A and B are shown apart, each in its own frame.
Chain A
């Protein structure tokens, strides 16, 4: 049964590649020419994303009283940088790739602590919250439009689990409150929807060269909306370090 599935999958994959190759490339005495929409080239096994986006953690939603995050750091937008690596384990014919993705990010908010005796007065002491989100998601990239129809857009979706290491410091040292250490782990579901624009069409010769010399099959810019509910599934015992936010970045498939 398993073997049969594998053979069928490989057969479908092979036939789709051959079919598309026959339809779009021309050959003369100097070699192949014309738009390379066949995606032929080096084997494609994964993707890497460099990510940048806003990150305003939902800390204040995990407390019953007040808005400690906004009171301390204000409401201005904070940003996050991150990386993600995907392993494109499975190619689904006439759809795209599916596989696991592992991501990491880093963001930090800092501000000045307030005097306890007079909360309206700001002290000179720095206080900060650093969050390092890490997630494991299933990634589906529907590159059928680019591969089969020459439309350089790849919608994608991600779903999985996220966690975030976070720690707070006061005056440059680890923060404590009533003897409780100001650091912890939050976790919960993570999901994302996004779209990628295939940059290869802007300079196909460079794209081919990158594939031949570096093994980079495709390169993209992308925009993504994603959400993470890192509150231990609704528990108020965890600081909710997740966020609903947008991300932009560069991605390559190799």
Chain B
């Protein structure tokens, strides 16, 4: 039986149904069966870097991580509906929004190698640090280069200037403003790979997201998750003033900054000495002579404003220290000494101007005491048979007598 009312009602409902389906698809529901989700378990991230210490958060990226192009491995869990989509990996800000993934416009996100068509409900992918930082460093080629970023504002404190605005399709971001009155700068070390040189002058750690998205051919995402990392590629500036004095097999070092408004991310200081503490002095033609106080010759190992060679490291000091000792030195040898700061991201900064130190034999209190004929010392548990045992034995004996007398009385 032909029912005109039923046919009419059917065709009236179809557009509504289609519209509803389309709307759902734009959000998270796949056009066919199965759930479309991407999850990253808390234990699903691992780092390849061997130099990290146990207390360093896995989410931190420093300059060394970048130079060595450390690898971050993610173990993702996908919903059962994954087969319809490709998994894409993006880095930047708010990359789960389609507009931010469009290169021709804002380009605040960039695609990271490692995605593809999943063939399992679990998906393990390894991402390189330089690829994550790609859009924030000199390696950035996002956009067509038509417009430069806006310039940053001048800094007024230790954090230096604010970074420049984002590109509008230009090849680089806007340059940062000049720093404030203090000396904290974001100078990249000479020879640093451009992939690890930030395009902004921000010294403080920055946050970046890595997004894992299941997308269709139209770049619509149907499920995703993200991992947030923080990066700091430059250490704090070295002290402005460094001085060294004489010690025995050590060089006492003092340092200071012109401004008291020092980088809050400083975590300590490292000392560098040339010749290196473990260097073979004879090979270097150095013969210590107690009768001659040598002077420092030119150094090619410690160049102010460059990253130090760890082989020349000769001591450390804590975050709040203003003086410390370079150790492992040989008396009557002239050493170039420099100081570099380290930060909470384990970055080692450029080294300071060098100063010269010549360790020499000194006479400390205990040595002076012994030289004056004092015979004390030898440790807390030391006892000598010549140390008037009679007095001790007498006291012990008296004590014993008292105890015995008391017992007898009772």
Contacts and interface: CB of A to CB of B under 8 A. Distances in A.
Interface of A: 2, 59, 62-69, 71-73, 109, 111, 113-117, 119, 123-129, 165, 168, 170-172, 175-178, 180-186, 232-239
Given A184-B378, A184-B382, A238-B376, A177 B366 contact: yes
Q: Which of A66, A72, A124, A237 has the most CB of B within 10 A?
A: A124
Contacts of A129: 365-366
Given A123-B246, A123-B247, A171-B325, A183 B377 contact: yes
How many B residues touch the partner, as a band? 35 or more
Nearest to B370: A177
B372 interface: yes
Contacts of A239: 369, 374, 376-377
Interface stretch (B144-152, B164-172, B356-364): B356-364
Given A123-B246, A129-B365, A170-B364, A68 B371 contact: yes
B50 interface: no
B357 to A, nearest CB: 9
Given A117-B290, A124-B245, A126-B252, A183 B380 contact: yes
A17 to B, nearest CB: 30
A184 B379 contact: yes
11 contacts: A66-B372, A69-B365, A168-B366, A171-B247, A171-B327, A175-B366, A177-B369, A183-B379, A233-B391, A234-B388, A238-B375
Contacts of A170: 248, 362, 364-367
A63 B373 contact: yes
Given A125-B247, A125-B252, A235-B387, A113 B364 contact: yes
Majority-rule SS of A interface residues: mixed
A68 B372 contact: yes
B315 to A, nearest CB: 10
B380 A184 contact: yes
B250 interface: yes
B386 interface: yes
B377 A177 contact: yes
A130 to B, nearest CB: 11
Contacts of A114: 362-363
Contacts of A238: 375-376, 387
A69 B376 CA distance: 13
Contacts of B398: none
Nearest to B332: A117
Contacts of A125: 245-248, 250, 252, 325, 362, 364
A237 to B, nearest CB: 5
B384 interface: yes
Contacts of B368: 66, 68, 71-72
Contact of A115 (B246, B252, B365): B246
Given A116-B361, A129-B365, A63 B374 contact: yes
A165 B375 contact: no
Contact of B384 (A165, A176, A237): A237
A-B pairs, top 4 by smallest CB distance, nearest first, are A124-B245, A239-B376, A125-B247, A182-B366
A170 B378 CA distance: 16
Interface string B334-351: 000000000000000000
Nearest to B383: A185
Given A109-B365, A239-B377, 7 more contacts: A66-B368, A66-B373, A123-B362, A168-B369, A170-B365, A181-B378, A237-B387
Contacts of A184: 376-380, 382
A234 B392 CA distance: 12
Contacts of B410: 2
Nearest to A236: B375
A115 B361 CA distance: 6
B410 to A, nearest CB: 8
Interface in B246-292: 246-252, 290
A113 B361 CA distance: 10
A232 B378 CA distance: 15
A238 B388 CA distance: 11
B378 A64 contact: no
Interface in B211-263: 244-252
A2 B366 CA distance: 53
B369 A68 contact: yes
A65 B374 CA distance: 8
Contact of B370 (A2, A109, A178): A178
Contacts of B391: 232-233
A237 B365 contact: no
Contacts of A109: 365
A68 to B, nearest CB: 4
Nearest to A231: B376
Contacts of A181: 377-379, 382
Interface in B120-178: none
A113 to B, nearest CB: 4
A72 B369 CA distance: 10
Contacts of A234: 388
Contacts of A72: 364-365, 368
A123 to B, nearest CB: 4
Contact of B372 (A64, A124, A180): A64
A129 B363 CA distance: 14
A158 B164 CA distance: 74
Contacts of A185: 380, 382
Contacts of A172: 325
Contacts of B372: 63-68
